[in-house]
Amino acid sequence: MLTFACKLEELAEGRSKRVDVQGNKVAVVKIGDDIYAIGDTCSHQNYSLSEGMVLTDDLEIECPKHGSTFDLLSGQPRSLPATKAVPVYEVSIENGNVMVDIDVDNIVS
């Protein structure tokens, strides 16, 4: 089920915003016209990915603690020390609202 995450206008280009969607911490990222939603908690340790950098050219987000990067489309880690994926969520924009399908976490393994 699609659930409200934030207003589209709250997102800054090439940045991540941490939101709480039904108790799940989600990093919402805007790159151009595309919006991505990825689990905000690094799979290595308990750090917020939203506090890291967004690598817009590679469609990745970097954990601020130890530097693992995660693919925004698949949630897969692209560099160590993280070895497990984080969930990614389907996103829909409805009337200026960013909606996330929190019920289905698409961990690609």
Which parts of this chain interact with ligand FES (CB under 6 A)?
42, 44-45, 47, 63, 65-66, 68, 81-82
Pick 63 or 98: Cβ nearer ligand FES: 63
Pairwise CA distance, residues 34 & 89, whole Å: 13
CB of 48 to ligand FES, least distance (A): 9
Strands (E), 8-80: 16-21, 24-31, 34-39, 54-55, 60-62, 69-71
**Smallest gap, in angstroms, from Cβ of residue 45 to ligand FES?**
4
Minimum CB distance to ligand FES smaller for 61 or for 99: 61
Q: Which two tokens stand for residue 8?
A: 């589209």
* Residue 22 vs 83, nearer CB to ligand FES: 83
Question: Smallest gap, in angstroms, from Cβ of residue 38 to ligand FES?
Answer: 13
As given in the structure block, the two tokens for residue 24 are 């799940």
What is the identity of the amino acid at 90?
E
For residue 10, the minimal CB distance to ligand FES (Å) is 25
Q: Please state whether beta strands 54-55 and 60-62 pair in parallel, antiparallel, or not at all (unpaired).
A: antiparallel
Pair of tokens at residue 37: 């939603």
Residue closer to ligand FES (CB basis): 80 or 93: 80
